[in-house]
Structure 1
Amino acid sequence: MASDISLPQGEETKAGHTNADEPKAHTRSDDPRAGRTRQQIFEALRQLMSDGNASVTVHQVVQAANISRSSFYAHFNSLDELAAELLRNQFADIGTAGVGLRREDLLAGPDAARIGYSRLVEHMVENFPLYSSALEMPLARNAYDEIVEAYATRLLESMVDREAVPSGINSELATTYIAGGAMTLISAWMRERLEVSDDELVDQLVALLPNWILEPTTTEKTHT
C-alpha cells in the first residue's frame, strides 16, 4: 500500500533552485489571502500524496494549487517543510483522543490503552496514503516520528500511577522507552514489514505494556 514518494534533485530546498528571484519564505501573516494560499498549497500536496504519486515536486504542487512558484516560496522554504507542517496539521485531528481516560478513573488500564492505541491506528488507516508517503520524505518523517511518539508518551503518562512504579524504575525514562517502541512498531506496520491486521497490531501494543502500567498494585509501590 505504501507509495514511494521522493524529492527529485533540485526540489529539496529553495537553495537548490536556479531562480534567484524567488522570495524567501516568511512567517504567516494575518492577511486572509495568505491564509487561503497556504490552504491551497496544503490541499494540493495532500491530494498529490494521497494519490500515491511516485514523485512529488514543487512544480506539481504549484500547478495543483494554481499558484505561482514565487507564492509557494513565500510560504515554505522547501517541499519537506511543507510536508512536515501538513502532517502536524493532519494529526491534530486526533489530538489527545484516548489520553486521560485512566487518569480520570474512567477505564481500567488495558481498556484505556486499547482505546488510545485503537484511535491512533484507526487514524493511520484512514489517512494511510498520506502517512505512508510522508515516511519517505526526510523532514516529514521526522515530524511523523515526533508526533506518534508524543501521542504514545502522553497516553502512557496518563496511565502511570507513580506510586505503583517498581523500585529502581524511572517512570519518565520508561514511558519514553515504551513510546519509542510503539512508534517503531507502528512505522514498521505502515511500511508493510509486519503482516498483522489492525486489531492484531493494537492487541500487541497493549500486550507489550508492562503490568505495572496496566494493572498497578499496592505491593509494587515505592516511596522516594
Structure 2
Amino acid sequence: MDFADRPHAQRAVDPRPARTRAAIIAAIDRLGSADAEVTVAAIVAEAQVSRSSFYSQFRDLDDVGVQLMNELFRDIKRVDAELRRSHQALKATSTSLDMFLAESQRRRGLYTTVLGGNVSSDARRVIHEIVAQGVLASASHSAPRSVDPHIASTFVAAGLLAVFTDWLVAENPVSASQLRAQLIAVLPPWVTGSQTAADRV
C-alpha cells in the first residue's frame, strides 16, 4: 500500500484549553465562596493561569457571565420542556427557578459584577435575550392564544432579571426559597400552571 493510501491518523484533541477553562471557572467559584471580589486579576491569580490564557477563553468578565448563563439555560429549557410535556407546569417553573437561583448563588460575585456592576450593558442585554428565549420556550407550551409569546417572554425576562439583580446586590437578601415562592406568586398563571381552561382562550 502506498503511503498516500494509508488512512490518516486523527490528530488528538488538545486538552489544555478545556483544562484552562475549567480552572478559570473553578477559580470563580472559589472566589465566590470566599465572598471575594471577582476581577480578571483575582481570577487568574486564583486559577494560576496567565492573563493571556484567560483571554484565550473569554473576552472579559461579561463574556464569562454570558457563556455560563447560556449553558445554564440550555439545561433549564431541556428540563422545563420535559416537565411541561408531562403536564407538570408548576414543577417546571419551580425547578427552573431553583436552577437559576442556585447558579446565581454559586457565582454571586460574578453575576453581581456583570448584572449589577458598572460594566457595559451588552452583557445584560445578551443575558436578557437568553432568559427571554428560555421563557419563550415555556410560553410555546402553555401561553393562552390571547398572549403573544414574544411580548410575554420579553416582559417576564425583564422582570426576572430585575428581581435577581436586586437580590444579588442586597445586603440582607431573602432566602432562595422565599424568593422562589414570591416569583411563583407573581408570575402569570399560564407560566405556573394555575390557569383554568377558560384562561387559555
**TM-score category of the 2 structures, normalised to the smaller one:** 0.5 to 0.7
1:52 match: 35
Alignment check: 8 A CA contact 1:49 1:133 kept: no
2:168 match: 190
1:62 match: 44
1:210 match: 188
Which has a greater percent of helix? Answer: 2
Q: 1:125 aligns with which of 78, 100, 105?
A: 105
RMSD: 3.6
TM-superposition CA deviations, 1:55-96 (whole Å, max 9, x none): 6243x4333333344444444443443454355446666563
Using structure 1 for the length normalisation, give the TM-score. Answer: 0.60
In the TM superposition, residue 144 of structure 1 has moved relative to its aligned partner by 4.3
179-188 vs 34-43, which deviates more? 34-43
Task: Report matched runs for 1:74-89 at 5 Å.
Answer: 74-89=56-71
1:32 match: 15
Aligned partners of 1:202, 1:191: CA distance in 2, in Å? Answer: 17
1:5 match: none
Unaligned runs of 5+ in 2: 1-11
Matched position secondary structure for 2:39: coil
TM-superposition CA deviations, 1:127-179 (whole Å, max 9, x none): 4444334433546545544444443443343332xxx433xx42331233123
Over 6 Å off, 4+ runs: none
Flag the 1:35–1:216 CA change in 2: closer, same or farther, 3 A. Answer: same
Residue 98 (str. 1) matches residue 74 (str. 2): no
In the TM superposition, residue 103 of structure 1 has moved relative to its aligned partner by 3.0
1:26 match: none
Flag the 1:51–1:89 CA change in 2: closer, same or farther, 3 A. Answer: farther
Flag the 1:174–1:144 CA change in 2: closer, same or farther, 3 A. Answer: closer
Alignment check: 8 A CA contact 2:114 2:124 kept: yes
Aligned partners of 1:219, 1:144: CA distance in 2, in Å? Answer: 30
1:114 match: 94
Using structure 2 for the length normalisation, give the TM-score. Answer: 0.65
Q: 2:134 aligns with which of 151, 175, 178?
A: 151
The one-letter amino acid of 2:182's match is: Q
Aligned partners of 1:39, 1:219: CA distance in 2, in Å? Answer: 46
Alignment check: 8 A CA contact 1:134 1:140 kept: yes
Aligned partners of 1:72, 1:101: CA distance in 2, in Å? Answer: 37
